[in-house]
Amino acid sequence: MRLGLHTYSYHYAAGLWDYTPRESPPMTIEHYLQKAAEMSLDGLFLADARHLDSLDYGYIAGLRDKAAALGLYLELGATGTNPDYLQNMVRTAHVLGSPVVRTIVDKPRPTSPPGITEWLGASARELRETLPICERYAVTLAVENSPQMTTAELLNLLAMIDSRWVGVCFDSANPIAVMEDPVEAAGALAPLARTVHLKDYRLSARPDGFFLVGCALGEGVVDLSAILELISTHASRINLNIETFVGKQSLPALDDQYLSQFPETPARALGRTLRLVRDRGVPQTPTLPTERGASEDELLAEEDELVVRSVRWAQQALGRQPSGEGTAWPAASPDTREQ
């Protein structure tokens, strides 16, 4: 199994999501490639097509060649089920050298069983329209087990499509968001996995449920060692991409409106999840750097440190010699970056 860096791990430094660096230049793909190489990783998972300055052949081929020169693989991430969009992403992945396009079913989740059935059916119909392009370019769609889709629903979706060109992007921590055991989810999804996001969470109680708190690999509640064993058994040639984030997400597991979105979730699953919060949750919800008014340098340093600890854990878990820590972001000489 090869080990790579998920670009969302530097979502503050990249400035593509909920934060824009003001004192440091945003990370580019070139910076990500340098960071992955410095950490002795094998590749890079591009979490968002916005990382790409263009979809022109020459630009994409140039990125492919830069990665190859560093001995790094590239995987491409996308979001949604729109056929025209996904077809473009598949063509881009082909030029980029990515064997997969990760995507997420991003339509709002219904709250009734008939609505959920239609939600899955509509997604399957759209994904199916992309299959001829997938087959032509030998690129697989990898549907992520997102925080709004249960394992059973994802398996149902793939059964509706019934194609070798559609598989799973397995995220090791997302099952908690739908009150599932991550190891049980891995057992069901690993045989269909085409790429993996290694992620961990700490948990913190709140009156209507709990927080999912980002942490370094091996420092949370996910049994990553058991998951890695399952993946090595069922998908030993897959890429493992390290995903961390300095942040927290509210999960209102005791709220009636939230629970109504998961009518098939048994009481046992809810109880097991809440016991996990009670028994292994942190006693106090961490205060994020953005909440305590930390400087940008402090925020980016904390983000970088989370990645460094995670890389060290993953390399040790895979029996590799831990790498050096690389260069903290922002780099010492930002003016030397490629334009």
pLDDT in tens, 212-231: 999 999 999 999 999 999 99
User: What is the model's pLDDT at position 121?
Assistant: 97
pLDDT at 74 over 70: yes
Question: 261 Cβ partners below 8 Å, 6+ apart?
Answer: 109, 110, 111, 148
User: What is the model's pLDDT at position 335?
Assistant: 37
pLDDT at 161 over 60: yes
CB 148 within 8 A of CB 109: yes
Find the Cα–Cα–Cα–Cα dihedral 113, 195, 94, 244, rounded to 10°: 100
Domain boundaries, the chain: 2-201+220-245+295-327
User: What is the model's pLDDT at position 164?
Assistant: 96
Dump the DSSP string for 117-143.
Answer: HHHHHHHHHHHHTTHHHHHHHT-EEEE
3-state secondary structure (DSSP) of residue 213: strand
With cut-offs at 50, 70 and 90, classify the pLDDT of residue 32: very high
Task: Note if the bond before 26 is cis, omega within 30 degrees.
Answer: no
User: What is the model's pLDDT at position 18?
Assistant: 87
The per-residue pLDDT of the chain, averaged, comes to 93
Both structure tokens of 152: 């059973």
User: What is the model's pLDDT at position 274?
Assistant: 94
With cut-offs at 50, 70 and 90, classify the pLDDT of residue 325: low
Residue-wise pLDDT for 234-261, tens only, equals: 988 899 999 999 999 999 999 998 988 8
User: Could you tell me the CATH superfamily of domain 2-201+220-245+295-327?
Assistant: Divalent-metal-dependent TIM barrel enzymes (3.20.20.150)
pLDDT at 330 over 90: no
Q: What is the mean pLDDT of residues 152-161?
A: 97
With cut-offs at 50, 70 and 90, classify the pLDDT of residue 111: confident
User: What is the model's pLDDT at position 327?
Assistant: 59
User: What is the model's pLDDT at position 59?
Assistant: 97
User: What is the model's pLDDT at position 85?
Assistant: 97
User: What is the model's pLDDT at position 326?
Assistant: 56
With cut-offs at 50, 70 and 90, classify the pLDDT of residue 333: very low
User: What's this model's pTM, rounded to 2 decimal places?
Assistant: 0.93
